[in-house]
Amino acid sequence: MIPKTLRLRLPLSYAAIALIATLVLGAVLLITLQRFYRQQELDYLTGNAHVIGDRLTPMLEADDIGQLQANLKGLAFLSQTQVQVWTPDEALLADSGDPRLADENTQIAVSVEVDGVAQTFSQSAADPVREVSESTIVIQPGLFGEIEEDVVTQIIEDGPAGAESEVSLDAEIIDSAGVITRTTTITREVVGEALPVIGTQFGFGFGDVAASETAVSNLTVRHPILATDGRLLGFVELSQGPAYGRDILQSVFFGWLIASLVAVLLAGLVGWRASGRLVNPLLTLTTVTTRMADGDLAARTAVQRQDELGTLGSSFNKMADQLEGTITTLRQFIADAAHELHTPLTALQTDLQTLRQSELEPGQAAKIERAQEQAVRLETLTNSLLDLSRIEANTNGNSEVVNLNLLLQETAELFASRAEQSDIQFGLTLPDMPLWVQGSPLRLRQAVQNLLDNALKFTPAGGDVTVVLAQEGNFACLTITDTGIGIPEEDVPHLFGRFHRGRNTADFPGNGLGLAIVQAIVLGMNGRIILQSLNPGTQVIVHFPLQEN
């Protein structure tokens, strides 16, 4: 699931970009290395196949299959491959088998003879330490005139590389004059390395990179074997050769994996830091707009940056200044208009009352009574507008800690008698312990009176109105429930708007400012109000933050 917040989406985007980049880079690197080492394996098999084919040509020309099979194992061991010889018609002629399955006692030897002294280098398939034996061939006449050869062999131990070793080869030569002892001294430089398998005459130069000790190449190379006259004698096929670079590829893979994880982690951290620099000013701006939505028109953002966010913050502050000025002007106008209307309305009511007490023609009394009713309604509207402007201007009177239990009890007593006169069952439930809230007692009483007035006004005779005060966590919860006419569903979102009246309230008096005043008072006390239709009936739930006495 994709996070919905920029605070998380930005670092995840950074990490995703780093992951894609490392994946592409790692894939290209591994593919390139794999192709390089695969070409090394192919070159190795091709070169060995060419040399081995030349070595096998005389044996195939002589049709010496026994010697061919005998030499095949040695060639396979030297080249560390499986060597097969095929006839021109694709019939298997000889097979060395897997060279890695050779017996641990298998020996490989190379002899070199110079001036009658033969040097034999031998190495075990299981033991990398080698031995060097040197032999002197002594030619002498026999007792009866024939020529005899005597071979004297001495095994020379390998020593440190670069050191010199001397060995004396003694032989007894018997002639007519008696017995003669001949001594030959050979000085040689000791090579400290074991005989390298890949470095033999069949492998040397075809692969200058060390092969893996366990991995085997899956490539197969077939090379034609041609006679001296150009005839096709068969094919030599090499397979299961050394695998080059497998250890390196594995190391590169693990290195790439670690580097990718580190890169993704670093990219995520950089993205987290960048998102913080981007999102924190937006969160600050959101907090300020929320404060303004709650009525604090003096709220301003403190974002001071030389980028787009700084421009946004500056533009917002300018907009807030203009909005505050406009709303302040409107509130002042409403307050001034309500105040100015109050005096002539009072005079108008006085004149209407005086006129009503005088002698009137038939029908004039009813007209004067209607005029008085409209004057009272206009005065109520004026007083409500004046109250609302004062509340929104935060002139709610003196704020103090109020005993909500006592305030509800005093207010409910006034409405209980009114409910009794209207044949409405009125109930009040208070907690045992007093609940204290911070606010203006005058405004708090006004809010409760408006809510109870609505409940009784829209509840018919025989209905119920219940008032319940309870503690919910750190809040005092006031719930007022009635069984009145209820609220149409489409009117619920607009009930706290100014001058809004429900579609089913046309037959009831009111100016549509009561709930707007209640909401302004509750929000001014950092509370919250919820209104819902029960069909029939209405329920209002108000939460006030609790305070210690």
Closest CA to 535 of 492, 499, 496: 492
CA distance 305 to 278: 11
Does position 523 have pLDDT exceeding 60, yes or no? Answer: yes
Q: How far is CA 129 from CA 53, 120, 261, in A?
A: 30, 14, 44
Say if CB 488 and CB 476 are below 8 A apart. Answer: no
Does position 534 have pLDDT exceeding 70, yes or no? Answer: yes
Domains of the chain, first to last: 1-99+213-275 (no CATH), 317-388 (1.10.287.130), 398-545 (3.30.565.10)
Structure tokens at 414: 């006034």
pLDDT at site 391: 72
pTM above 0.85, yes or no: no
* 324 against 502, higher pLDDT: 324
For the stretch 204-234, pLDDT in tens is 333 444 455 567 888 999 999 999 888 999 9
For the stretch 365-410, pLDDT in tens is 788 877 877 777 777 777 777 676 677 666 555 788 999 999 999 9
Residues 6+ apart with CB under 8 A from 490: 503
DSSP 3-state of 167: strand
Residues 6+ apart with CB under 8 A from 201: 51, 78
pLDDT at site 191: 41
In the chain, the amino acid numbered 8 is: L
Say if CB 129 and CB 120 are below 8 A apart. Answer: no
Structure tokens at 24: 């592409």
